[in-house]
Structure 1
Amino acid sequence: MACFIIGAGSFYGLPVSVQRTDMVIAADGGWHTCRENGITPTLLVADFDSLDAAPAFDHILRLPVEKDDTDMIRAVKEGFDRGEREFHLLGGMGGHRTDHTVANMQTLAYIARRGGQGWLYGNGERFTAICDGGEITLTAGQNSVFSVFCLGADAEGVTIENAKYPLTDAVLTADFPLGVSNHFIRQAVRVAVRRGCLLIGITDKE
C-alpha cells in the first residue's frame, strides 16, 4: 500500500500507477488537481484557504486556518494514523510558494524519522530523505544526476557508493553543499547515514 498526497502546487502527473489498495489524500487546493486529472481521492484534508467552499464530498477532514501543521504534513499524519508508510507527495513544488516547497522537503524528514519513506515530485526531479541509520538504493536513467544535502544538524557517517564522487564515513553540514551534482557510474547508487538526516534529490536529464 502507498499514500498519495496531492497538494495545490504544480502537478506533473502521477509517477506510478495508483492501485486500488492505495490511499489518495487531496490536501486543500489539491482537490482541484484531483478533479482536473480524473483522480478520485479517499480523503480531503483542508482548512479551505485554497478552496472557496467545501465540496459535496463525504470524506473531509476539516482543519482550522490557524494551526502549526501545513495541510500537507497533516495529511501525512493522517496517512500514518491509517497504517501507511510509503508516501508520494505531488503538487508540493513549483508555483510562487518556495516556502511550501521547503516545508515539504522538511516533511520528508518527518516521514523518515518515523520509519516511513517519502518522495516529493517536481518537474523531472524527485526528492526523498533518510535519517539516523537509514540507507537507500537509488536507480535512475543514464543521464540522471543526484544530490545529497544535510537536512538539519550535521549528518555523520555519510556513505555514497557506485557514484562518480563517492564518500565513506563523511560528515555533511547544512552550510556547505558538498553533495550537489553527483553522477551514477552504475545503475544503482547506495546512500547511507549513521546520524542525522539527508535530503536526496534525483534530476532526470533529457
Structure 2
Amino acid sequence: MESKQQPDTARRVGTTCVVFAAGTYFDTPLSIPGDAFVVAADGGLDHARELGIHADAVIGDFDSIAGPIPEQSGTIRLPEEKDDPDLLSALKVGWSQGARTFYIYGALGGRVDHSIANIQILARLAAHGGIGYLFGDGTVVTAIADGSLSFPADAATRGAGRMVSVFSHSDRSTNVTEQGLKYQLDHATMLNTTIQGVSNEFLTATPAFISVGSGTLVVTFPIEAGLPRVERHHAFTGDLGTLSTAVSAALATPRQH
C-alpha cells in the first residue's frame, strides 16, 4: 500500500524518534528507548529488518532498498525527483508524532555529500528546538542552537583522551563557552570560516560543558561518553515543515522529449 499521508498513529509528544538510514552502520551499538517511534528511510528498512526491529513508518523513493517494500499503512512512497532527501522526510514524520529528540543510524560514512547534508539537517533540527544525534564509527555528531550540552564527570571519564570538536555552523556563533576540556573557551566568538574548536579532549573525572549564546554549533564527541544533557536558553518556534514531494523552480531542468 502506498500513502502520501503521514502515518495515522497516536501522537506522542516528547517521545524519541529512532531513524534507520541507508548508509554505513559501523557495528554501532543501538540505543532504542522503549517508547521510541521508529522510522526507516528507504534502504534503512533493510538494516532494521536485519536487526529484527519493527519500523512504525517507512518512507522514501525506495531506490536503495533491497528487500520488498512493505504494504502497510505507515508506508510513504516519495518520488525520485524532489527537494527533500529521504532522511529529512523521515525526520518530518517523527516530528509529526511529537518527537524532538532523534537517534539517527546509517547517516554517516559512505558518500561524503550525504554526510554533509545530514549534518545540515541536524542544524535544521536545532533551529527549531529539536536535537539529533548521528552515530558513526565510534563518534556521535550533533548540533545545538542557543543552548548547551553537559557531560557528567563519569561520562567524560569514559571518553577521556578522545576527541571532542566544536564548529560554528552559523556564520557567527557568539558567547561560546567550553569547560572541562583540555582547551577551554570563555564567552568566545566562533565563525564558520575559522577553525577554533577541532581536536579538543575530555579530561578525566571532570564534567564537560559546551554552550553557545547565539548561533548553532556542530559538535562531535566519542560514543563512549554517552549522550549529553541538553538545555536551551529560550523557547523555539516553528517546525520541520510538511512532507514535500516538489522540486523547486530554481532546481528544475527542462525535460528532453
Aligned to 1:71: 86
One-letter identity of the residue aligned with 1:117: I
One-letter identity of the residue aligned with 1:88: Y
Aligned to 1:4: 18
One-letter identity of the residue aligned with 2:126: A
**Which of 155, 164, 180 is matched with 2:173 structurally?**
155
User: Counterparts of 1:25 and 1:6 in 2: how far apart (Å)?
Assistant: 6
Task: Give secondary structure in 2 for the equivalent of 1:169.
Answer: strand
Contact map agreement 1:144 1:204 (CA 8 A) in 2: no
User: Counterparts of 1:19 and 1:204 in 2: how far apart (Å)?
Assistant: 17
Contact map agreement 2:23 2:109 (CA 8 A) in 1: yes
TM-score normalised by L of structure 2: 0.74
User: Counterparts of 2:219 and 2:78 in 1: how far apart (Å)?
Assistant: 31
User: Counterparts of 1:85 and 1:78 in 2: how far apart (Å)?
Assistant: 11
Q: Which has the larger radius of gyration?
A: 2
Shift of 1:52: 6.1
**Which of 194, 198, 202 is matched with 1:180 structurally?**
198
Cα RMSD after superposing both structures: 1.8
- Which protein is richer in strand relative to its size? 1
Contact map agreement 1:48 1:54 (CA 8 A) in 2: no
One-letter identity of the residue aligned with 1:197: T
User: Counterparts of 2:190 and 2:174 in 1: how far apart (Å)?
Assistant: 7
Shift of 1:13: 4.5
Shift of 1:144: 2.1
Aligned to 1:137: 150
**Which of 89, 97, 101 is matched with 1:86 structurally?**
101
Contact map agreement 2:28 2:138 (CA 8 A) in 1: no
Are residues 13 and 25 of structure 1, via their aligned partners in 2, closer, same or farther at CA, if it must alter by over 3 Å?
farther
Q: Does 1:125 align with 2:144?
A: no
Aligned to 1:202: 221
Could you list the per-position Cα deviations for residues 111-154 of structure 1 after superposition, in whole angstroms to 9, with x for gaps in the alignment?
111111210110100011111x2111134422322000011311
Aligned to 2:251: none
Are residues 204 and 115 of structure 1, via their aligned partners in 2, closer, same or farther at CA, if it must alter by over 3 Å?
closer
Shift of 1:86: 0.8
Q: What number of residue pairs does the alignment pair up?
A: 203
Alignment of structure 1 residues 79-118 onto 2, 5 Å = 79-95=94-110, 97-118=111-132
Contact map agreement 2:43 2:66 (CA 8 A) in 1: no
Shift of 1:19: 3.3
Aligned to 1:170: 188
TM-score normalised by L of structure 1: 0.91
